[in-house]
């Protein structure tokens, strides 16, 4: 009799928390590592398609590819969600040099920042004022800045362990640098690239002119860290040197694009959604492998693993390939708006947009009760060395879906190498490791499985 | 009064466990990331010196470099500890091809395994028998194997999260493959490279002939995983194909080399030692950046950080650059023997020999009491995302120092990329990330600091 009760208990534990979860996670990781498709997908998206800035032909190709691949998976629904996106084009390659008082010139590596205006066709030549922050800018005022090129050179803080924190502490220079400098009549803005590496690569990224009238807008470019160090040291010796740059970028009219969405419809709560996603657009200098090709193929892989392992989810599980995260977030806003209009409940929305490196865990925005539930799952992840479960900061694309009761989450891969590649020409397929990418996909599938099984 | 007691308690906590440890770890990580020298050191060791197989000229150059750098640090003692090491030389580059029954040949990538004999000067040509393990070999017996080339092709298991475990599950093919196959009169041995990547690089590594008389020794080489897959699929279609290989390696007489040792003498327990080390020798195909240049420069950095931060250790802290880990472990044995002879107590011996990737934690061989103490330090490491503290498996070089009461430990970096580079031509400086290397050095310094402060 004792034996029977024991066997019943064993049976029960297989259907509740415990055995089944552990076993299911094992199957998920095993399948992702032995039969994964994320790496092959990434190769196509990165190498065959390439960089895919919103509104570009490549972004359109990526949309078509994404839909076709989802169609292949045998999901319950696959569709395109239209969204108007900004179309900024880089034009002919930028060009810049430092001209010493002696007349000698040194070429440096720059790239126009996303959203920037062009220089005039002959380029801008001006003296340079180096600043570390907006307070220093304000102190210099119009007297010190009019007609000058403002050079923002505050480096990312290398002693912060989380490189995203270091990025957060610097990115105001890139995003707001031009609008702040324009207030004082500056002629242009050069910003130190947002990376901890010292190399020759300029790193792109978005910037804003805020409410600045078109006539007041000044061109804004990123300079490689090596050249930023060079410019700074040359300025120390020769404060009257001049900087020349020429860029040909342009903001065109908005164009129509799409979020790509696929769904496995839930067996018990078909109108309650758990979504996984990343962004399909990328900057144009590299091929967007880490940012965010990795997040796209990992999200696709989650649904593929559910199909492969014949997991029939209770909630509807969607993969969402958001368009235009980089310079507008239009896809995320359109998706959230449609969800609200249709009365869809988004239980948990998981984003992967921090690179395809070894996963360390997840961040969450959710209630304390949900977070405590998540913490109770921690032991299930231990065999996979997933240890990071913290509140706060999930992702840009899932942000608009947040409510007071639901959960959003972000995959947190190892961050050490991310900004070596971020928005630069070396964000390429060869910088992604197959196993690291697959472990991220498996971790996401595991989290989705647990939320689907146990709810909020 | 309450306030005074509170202040006294606060004061106490600054000198015991708590505030001071937390603050010291912060300083250690900050210094390692902002003023670290490990990456520059590694550049010299890897790029200027390069691969440094025991007994080679480069190994000698590495010894001289190591001693000179330690001399620069202003330690209390720096010395060379003589040790006789094996000298195996690769000779002219190996060469191999598959010859189909049709006569068509396909070149493949091989490298002689460390310790192997050469083929005869004209090379070996023979039919190939593919096996996955020694059981299959035994089943084939002399009838199936005499005069044949045995092709060991059991891949590393990709669904194991820890790649070292996958390596451990395969390496018997490389180490024992020749001695096992020679029992049945095989003409030679070709072993699938020990990596999870599918690429063209053969991975070197040591092998043994055990007690096999010289006359019975057969040549043994590693083949790249891509070529292993090719050979296997060709064998399926054409079982009578032939394999040709020629290698020119040679085991010479032992030569004199050195462990390089530096010490900060302890203020309270000068004859009780805490050591940090890695191995100075490497395989010859790459420049040994991950295996184990990283461990060498991280260990040097521990003592440099102690000096920089003016930490006066209670125990004597030594850096030991072990010679000949790869094909003999002679340095480790010589160090342990000398320690025993001098009656030195080795309290804790920490090895870094798992690559210069993001550190995840440490493994320990120690008493339960010591391990519980280590676990109590876990919260101190949380800000640095160091989470892995497990018992078992520390390192080859610290192994001979283990007693029933002391502790040995191994740094455990992220393992996903390690075997992509291990013993191959792409174990090079560019594959090491500066921050990841520095975080490893800081973690080691932190652990040494805690053991020095709180004992076993």
- Closest chain B residue to A389 measured between Cα atoms? B385
Element holding B214 (H helix, E strand): none
Domain with CATH 3.40.630.10 in chain A: 25-88+253-454
Q: Do A385 and B388 touch (CB under 8 A)?
A: yes
pLDDT for residue A19: 56
pLDDT at A31 over 50: yes
Closest by alpha carbon to A452, among A332, A302, A308, A262?
Answer: A302
Q: Which residues of A touch B158 (CB under 8 A)?
A: 33-34, 435
- Closest chain A residue to B420 measured between Cα atoms? A433
Closest by alpha carbon to A204, among A218, A188, A223?
Answer: A223
* Topology classification of domain A25-88+253-454: Aminopeptidase (3.40.630)
* Closest approach of B162 to chain A, Cα-based (Å): 9
Q: Which residues of A touch B161 (CB under 8 A)?
A: 29, 383-385, 439
Closest by alpha carbon to B118, among B218, B34, B38, B13?
Answer: B218
Q: Which residues of B touch A196 (CB under 8 A)?
A: 435
Q: Which of B33, B158, B433 sits opposite A33 (nearest CB)?
A: B158
Q: Do B161 and A384 touch (CB under 8 A)?
A: yes
- Closest chain A residue to B28 measured between Cα atoms? A159
Q: Which of B30, B358, B434 sits opposite A159 (nearest CB)?
A: B30
Q: What is the number of H-type helices and E-type strands within chain B? A: 14, 16
The answer to whether B33 contacts chain A (CB < 8 Å) is: yes
In degrees, to the nearest 5, what angle opens at C-alpha A351 toward C-alphas A414 and A203? 60
Query: How many cross-chain Cβ pairs, A to B, lie less than 8 Å apart?
Result: 60
Over range A116-124, report the average pLDDT.
97
CA distance B339 to A310: 60
Q: Which of B196, B385, B436 sits opposite A388 (nearest CB)?
A: B385
Q: Which residues of B touch A29 (CB under 8 A)?
A: 159, 161
* Closest approach of A206 to chain B, Cα-based (Å): 26
Over range A74-86, report the average pLDDT.
98
pLDDT at B7 over 90: no
pLDDT for residue B393: 83
Which ranges of A16-151 does DSSP label H, i.e. alpha helix? 19-34, 38-43, 57-72, 134-145
The answer to whether A358 contacts chain B (CB < 8 Å) is: yes
* Mean pLDDT, chain B, whole residue set: 95
Cβ neighbours of residue B120 closer than 8 Å, sequence gap 6 or more: none
Cβ neighbours of residue A46 closer than 8 Å, sequence gap 6 or more: A287, A288, A289, A293, A428, A429, A432
CA distance B240 to B243: 10
**pTM score:** 0.95
CA atoms within 13 A on the CB side of A343: 2
- Closest chain B residue to A26 measured between Cα atoms? B159
pLDDT for residue A162: 97
The CATH code of domain B92-248 reads 3.50.30.30
* Closest approach of A446 to chain B, Cα-based (Å): 15
Which ranges of A366-433 does DSSP label H, i.e. alpha helix? 368-376, 378-381, 418-421
pLDDT band, residue B14 (cuts 50/70/90):
very low
The answer to whether B189 contacts chain A (CB < 8 Å) is: no
Closest by alpha carbon to A218, among A245, A254, A253?
Answer: A245
Using CA atoms, how far residue B238 sits from A58, A89, B108, in Å, is 45, 55, 17
Whether the CB-CB separation of A385 and A357 falls below 8 Å is answered with no
* Closest approach of A416 to chain B, Cα-based (Å): 7
Q: What is the ipTM of this complex?
A: 0.94
* Closest approach of A96 to chain B, Cα-based (Å): 28
Q: What is the pLDDT of residues B165-180, one digit of tens each?
A: 999 999 999 999 999 9
Domain with CATH 3.50.30.30 in chain B: 92-248
Q: Do B161 and A29 touch (CB under 8 A)?
A: yes
pLDDT for residue A98: 98
Whether the CB-CB separation of B126 and B148 falls below 8 Å is answered with yes
pLDDT for residue A1: 44
The answer to whether A387 contacts chain B (CB < 8 Å) is: yes
pLDDT for residue A65: 98
Domain with CATH 3.40.630.10 in chain B: 24-88+253-454
- Closest chain A residue to B27 measured between Cα atoms? A159
* Closest approach of A360 to chain B, Cα-based (Å): 9
Cβ neighbours of residue A309 closer than 8 Å, sequence gap 6 or more: A24, A27, A28, A31
* Closest approach of A183 to chain B, Cα-based (Å): 35
Q: Do A34 and B387 touch (CB under 8 A)?
A: no
CA distance A196 to A199: 9
The answer to whether B159 contacts chain A (CB < 8 Å) is: yes
pLDDT for residue A400: 97
Architecture of the structural domain at B24-88+253-454: 3-Layer(aba) Sandwich (3.40)
Closest by alpha carbon to A194, among A158, A161, A230?
Answer: A158
Q: Do A159 and B420 touch (CB under 8 A)?
A: no
pLDDT band, residue A143 (cuts 50/70/90):
very high
Share of chain B above pLDDT 70, in %: 96
In this structure, the strands spanning A220-223 and A110-112 are antiparallel
CATH of A94-248, one of 3.40.50.300, 3.50.30.30, 2.10.109.10, 3.40.630.10: 3.50.30.30
CA distance A114 to A222: 10
Q: Which of A29, A161, A439 sits opposite B383 (nearest CB)?
A: A161
Q: Do B433 and A417 touch (CB under 8 A)?
A: yes
Q: Which of A33, A197, A414 sits opposite B159 (nearest CB)?
A: A33
Share of chain B above pLDDT 90, in %: 95
Q: Is A268 exposed, middle or buried (0-12, 13-18, 19+ CB in 10 A)?
A: exposed
Q: Do B29 and A161 touch (CB under 8 A)?
A: yes
Q: Which residues of A touch B33 (CB under 8 A)?
A: 158-159
Mutation site for A-interface testing, chosen from B157, B160, B161 by largest number of A Cβ within 10 Å: B161
The answer to whether A158 contacts chain B (CB < 8 Å) is: yes
The answer to whether A388 contacts chain B (CB < 8 Å) is: yes
- Closest chain A residue to B163 measured between Cα atoms? A435
Mutation site for A-interface testing, chosen from B160, B385, B439 by largest number of A Cβ within 10 Å: B385
pLDDT band, residue B425 (cuts 50/70/90):
very high
* Closest approach of B158 to chain A, Cα-based (Å): 6
Q: Which of B159, B385, B420 sits opposite A161 (nearest CB)?
A: B385
Q: What is the pLDDT of residues A345-355, one digit of tens each?
A: 999 999 999 99
pLDDT at B4 over 90: no
Domain with CATH 3.50.30.30 in chain A: 94-248
CA pseudo-torsion sign B186, B190, B195, B196? negative
pLDDT for residue A393: 83
The answer to whether A34 contacts chain B (CB < 8 Å) is: yes
Q: What is the pLDDT of residues B124-144, one digit of tens each?
A: 999 999 999 999 999 999 999
The answer to whether B385 contacts chain A (CB < 8 Å) is: yes
Q: For residues A9 and B203, which has the higher predicted lDDT (pLDDT)?
A: B203
DSSP conformation letters of B153-193: -----TT-SSHHHHHHTTHHHHHHHHHHHHTTT-SEEEEE-
- Closest chain A residue to B434 measured between Cα atoms? A197
The answer to whether A312 contacts chain B (CB < 8 Å) is: no
pLDDT band, residue A6 (cuts 50/70/90):
very low
What residues pair up with B273 in beta bridges, in sequence order? B316, B346
Residue B289: count other Cβ atoms within 10 Å of its Cβ: 28
The single-letter DSSP state of residue B94 is P
Label residues A24-59 b or e (16+ Cβ within 10 Å = b).
bbebbbebbbeebbbbebbbebbeebbbbbbbbebb
pLDDT at A448 over 50: yes
pLDDT band, residue B5 (cuts 50/70/90):
very low
Q: Tokens for A403?
A: 């409510």
């Amino acid at each position: 009799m004792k034996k029977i009760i024991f066997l019943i208990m064993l049976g029960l534990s297989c259907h509740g928390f415990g055995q089944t979860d552990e076993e299911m996670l094992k199957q998920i990781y095993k399948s992702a590592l032995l039969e994964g498709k994320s790496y092959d997908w990434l190769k196509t998206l990165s190498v065959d398609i390439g960089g895919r800035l919103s509104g570009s032909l490549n972004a359109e190709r990526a949309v078509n590819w994404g839909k076709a691949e989802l169609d292949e998976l045998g999901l319950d629904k696959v569709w395109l969600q239209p969204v108007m996106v900004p179309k900024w084009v880089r034009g002919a390659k930028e060009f810049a040099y430092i001209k010493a008082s002696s007349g000698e010139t040194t070429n440096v590596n720059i790239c126009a920042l996303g959203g920037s205006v062009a220089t005039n066709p002959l380029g801008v030549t001006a003296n340079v004022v180096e600043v570390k922050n907006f307070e220093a800018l304000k102190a210099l005022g119009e007297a010190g800045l009019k007609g000058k090129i403002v050079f923002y050179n505050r480096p990312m803080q290398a002693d912060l362990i989380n490189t995203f924190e270091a990025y957060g502490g610097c990115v105001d220079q890139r995003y707001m640098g031009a609008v702040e400098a324009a207030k004082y009549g500056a002629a242009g803005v050069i910003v130190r690239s947002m990376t901890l590496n010292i190399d020759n690569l300029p790193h792109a990224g978005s910037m804003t002119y805020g409410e600045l009238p078109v006539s007041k807008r000044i061109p804004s470019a990123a300079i490689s860290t090596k050249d930023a160090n060079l410019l700074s040291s040359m300025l120390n010796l020769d404060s009257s040197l001049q900087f020349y740059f020429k860029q040909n970028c342009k903001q065109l009219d908005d164009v129509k694009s799409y979020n790509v969405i696929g769904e496995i419809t839930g067996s018990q709560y078909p109108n309650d959604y758990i979504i996984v996603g990343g962004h399909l657009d990328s900057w144009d200098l590299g091929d967007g492998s880490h940012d965010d090709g990795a997040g796209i193929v990992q999200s696709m892989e989650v649904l593929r693993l559910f199909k492969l392992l014949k997991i029939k989810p209770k909630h509807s599980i969607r993969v969402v390939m958001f368009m235009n995260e980089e310079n507008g977030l239009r896809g995320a806003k359109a998706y959230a708006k449609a969800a609200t209009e249709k009365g869809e409940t988004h239980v948990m929305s998981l984003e992967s947009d921090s690179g395809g490196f070894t996963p360390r865990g997840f961040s969450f925005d959710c209630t304390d009760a949900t977070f405590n539930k998540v913490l109770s799952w921690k032991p299930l992840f231990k065999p996979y060395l997933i240890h990071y479960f913290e509140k706060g900061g999930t992702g840009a694309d899932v942000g608009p879906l947040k409510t007071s009761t639901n959960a959003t989450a972000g995959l947190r891969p190892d961050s050490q190498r991310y900004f070596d590649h971020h928005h630069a020409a070396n964000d390429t397929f060869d910088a992604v490791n197959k196993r690291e990418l697959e472990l991220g996909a498996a971790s996401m599938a595991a989290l989705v499985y647990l939320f689907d099984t146990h709810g909020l």
